[in-house]
A and B are shown apart, each in its own frame.
Chain A
Amino acid sequence: MFKKLDTDYAGAAVDKNASRLSVSILVAGLLVLLVTALLGYDAHDVGLEPLVTQSIELSGVTNPVTAVLLNFRAYDTLLEIAVLLIVVIAVLPIDDRRTAFFRRVAETKHDLVLSALQRWIAPALVIFAGYLLWAGAYQPGGAFQAGALLAGACVLLFQGGTYRINYTSSIARLLLVIGLIIFVAVGLALIWVEGSLLTYPLESSSILILLIEACATISIAIALASLYSSLFDTAFPAVNMGKNESIT
């Protein structure tokens, strides 16, 4: 597809079969090398599992994965949310910043199956996301899963072009950054209280983790939804140009 950009570059004399053959030989060689290395390596009795099990009492949650994500290696999660935010800023769908955060534009086509799905599944997804967020402390679940489910609900709502979110409105901006802000604020406050970044005090660690997770869930959900909108909205130029008047 980059042919049209290729005007200056005359192109190397590429024999497709030759390049395929050489690549497959190289990759097969790499695979054999990796498998040999794997077979010669005993991976048992290494890893951080005993360490995590030992100190799970100190983390404030009982699900070890949540404990690692939000307590023992909270830096990773903080930076991950930051990376997600940077990507969102790079691809953010531009809209009029004064229009409302959530809009219902004039319905162009009525799809019975789609609207029934939107009415029944989207609320159930929201409830289930809330449950996953709450359950993440002691069983599989947590901020990422809940955020992804909420984003899935948003993607479902975007189908048909009836509902739109304006990511440039101030509410959306606040929601996009609230996860990072709360995370950084808690971390900095803990420097003040405890003396080092993101070291939770034992008695309040559980509630702090829940606070950070709740804000991160909202941010992740709206960030993933905006990633989808950045690719989806331009497919409907009429909607994108603001020709349809908003109802609410």
Chain B
Amino acid sequence: MSLTMVFDALLILSMLTLGWMSIFSVSLFRCIVFFVCLGLLATIAWGQLGAFDVAIAEAAIGAGITGALLLAAWNQIRPLVAKDSDMVETNQSVAQEHV
């Protein structure tokens, strides 16, 4: 029982950290990746809480489809983001490809 509690506490701690990082990370791309990770951890949490229906839906929608949507949208606003120096990692040539 106490081991489960330790697991729960660790899970919760990492979820809170990921929640923070998925909003306030330096680059938007990292934010999105952290948000997908948050979705996957949420899947584990729902399983831990016995909500297997919700866990399946969260894995498919929360982590999968939402992540794909966010990445597709990020792909579209990328050039300006690179100009705003919000994105530090994208080099200009990659950004130009999609203009």
Chain B residues within an 8 Å CB radius of A1: 77, 80-81, 84
Known: A1-B80, A140-B52, A142-B53. A231 touches B64 (CB 8 A): no
Give per-residue flags for A219-248: 1 if the beta carbon is below 8 A from chain B beta carbons, else 0: 000001001100110110000000000000
Docked-complex contact B57 and A228, CB < 8 angstroms? no
Q: Which of A63, A148, A232, A234 contacts B57 (CB 8 A)?
A: A148
Question: How many residues on A have C-beta within 8 angstroms of the other chain's C-beta atoms?
Answer: 22
Any B CB within 8 A of the CB of A145: yes
Docked-complex contact A235 and B56, CB < 8 angstroms? no
CA distance A155 to B61 in the complex (A): 12
Docked-complex contact A152 and B75, CB < 8 angstroms? no
Docked-complex contact A145 and B68, CB < 8 angstroms? no
CA distance A89 to B61 in the complex (A): 20
Any B CB within 8 A of the CB of A61: no
Any A CB within 8 A of the CB of B65: yes
Docked-complex contact A145 and B60, CB < 8 angstroms? yes
CA distance A152 to B66 in the complex (A): 10
Any B CB within 8 A of the CB of A165: no
Give per-residue flags for A144-186: 1 if the beta carbon is below 8 A from chain B beta carbons, else 0: 1100110110010000000000000000000000000000000
Q: Tell me the nearest residue of chain A to B68, going by C-beta.
A: A155
Docked-complex contact A235 and B76, CB < 8 angstroms? yes
Chain A residues within an 8 Å CB radius of B52: 140
Any A CB within 8 A of the CB of B73: yes
Q: Which of B80, B81, B98 contacts A235 (CB 8 A)?
A: B98
Any A CB within 8 A of the CB of B10: no
CA distance A228 to B98 in the complex (A): 18
Chain A residues within an 8 Å CB radius of B60: 145, 148-149, 151-152
**Contacts A/B (CB < 8 Å), 21 sampled:** A1-B80, A63-B53, A66-B53, A132-B56, A140-B52, A140-B53, A141-B53, A145-B56, A148-B65, A152-B60, A152-B64, A152-B65, A155-B64, A224-B61, A227-B65, A228-B65, A228-B69, A228-B72, A231-B73, A232-B68, A234-B76
Chain A residues with CB under 8 Å of chain B are 1, 63, 65-66, 132, 140-142, 144-145, 148-149, 151-152, 155, 224, 227-228, 231-232, 234-235
